[in-house]
Amino acid sequence: MFSLDSRLQQDTLVLGDFPLCRLLLMNDANYPWFILVPRCEAVSELFQLDAADQVQLWLETTRLAEVLKDVFAADKMNVATLGNVVSQLHMHVIVRRREDLAWPAPVWGKHPARAYSDVEIADVRGRLRLVLGGHFQFVEG
Amino acid sequence: MFSLDSRLQQDTLVLGDFPLCRLLLMNDANYPWFILVPRCEAVSELFQLDAADQVQLWLETTRLAEVLKDVFAADKMNVATLGNVVSQLHMHVIVRRREDLAWPAPVWGKHPARAYSDVEIADVRGRLRLVLGGHFQFVEG
């Protein structure tokens, strides 16, 4: 049974579900920073997912990266699965811009998170509604 | 035509070729840190690869991560494509151990690189020879 890691729960907001993954928004308004978590029995490495789920995770990751790049005018998308702190498999999909706080360094541990305001979260949800198709199920926040 | 980015060329050693990707070893003996670079026209984002190359990159990435985890006794594999500095698409596949210098932080920018000795490089090549199958072509270093 799927259960979201408590640290992810604490640091993020739930946006909704793709067929495989729950989509989270890192509660850090410094960057549009998203996280995909496969809703399956907990595994920690990509190659521990079964073959069909691997294909689906790749699809959801690359399609999400593609729409985010457009919607948030990214200079570069950062895609990564690290898991040194949170072992539940999760994929970071992060919009990077040349003028963001950490550029060109990776975002992890670089600056303290700045929590979103309600207006800012509504803006993120609104942008995603424009581009995430019928295969994505929003949860109301 | 494929041409390796000059910064990657400078920072890494060439190990050989998978069907799609050149396999590089980051010249930093602090971590077993590998990089896959698709040998195709330069693109910078995953979703800019054609569909067949995306499938192949995923296969090469996940299979490499799986064998490296065993061979180098990783506690966690870190898999990431960032590209904020080097825009040529490249995938980091990094062996992380609880006792490594940067753990649990990501490796980028954390500690100065420590160049490999010839003996250490031969050891890395020797380990890979045990596990990388006939689909991998070693170059002699």
pLDDT of residue B1: 83
- Would the pTM count as exceeding 0.90? yes
Mean pLDDT lowest among A5-14, A83-92, A125-134, B48-57:
A125-134
Mean pLDDT by runs of 10 across the 141 residues of chain B is 95 98 98 97 94 97 98 98 97 98 96 97 96 89 64
Interface residue B69 vs chain A (CB under 8 A): yes
pLDDT of residue B71: 97
Cβ A108–B109 below 8 Å, yes or no? Answer: no
Residue A106 has pLDDT above 80, yes or no: yes
pLDDT of residue A134: 81
| Mean pLDDT, range A80-109, rounded to an integer | 97
Contact list in A for residue B46 (CB cut-off 8 A) is 61-62, 65, 77, 79
Tens-place pLDDT, residues A34-51: 999 999 988 999 999 999
Three-class secondary structure of residue A14 per DSSP? strand
Please report which helix (H) or strand (E) contains residue A15, including its range.
Answer: strand A12-17
Nearest CA in chain B to A69: B45
Residue-averaged pLDDT of chain A: 96
Interface residue B106 vs chain A (CB under 8 A): yes
Window 43-62 of B, Cβ < 8 Å to A: 44-47, 54-55, 58, 61-62
**Residue bearing tokens 């600056």:** A111
pLDDT of residue B25: 98
Cβ A103–B80 below 8 Å, yes or no? Answer: no
Nearest CA in chain A to B44: A76
ipTM attached to this prediction:
0.97
Interface residue B105 vs chain A (CB under 8 A): yes
Three-class secondary structure of residue B84 per DSSP? coil
pLDDT band of A141, cuts 50, 70, 90: low
Q: Quick one: B117 exposed, middle or buried, by C-beta within 10 A (0-12, 13-18, 19+)? A: exposed
DSSP-derived letter for residue A72 is: T
| Mean pLDDT, range A97-121, rounded to an integer | 97
Per cent of chain A over pLDDT 90 is 94
Interface residue A69 vs chain B (CB under 8 A): yes
- Name the nearest CA neighbour of A27 among A108, A103, A114: A114
- Name the nearest CA neighbour of A15 among A33, A41, A40: A33
Residue A97 has pLDDT above 90, yes or no: yes
pLDDT band of A28, cuts 50, 70, 90: very high
pLDDT of residue A10: 98
Q: How far is CA A130 from the centre of its chain?
A: 17
| Mean pLDDT, range A78-83, rounded to an integer | 98
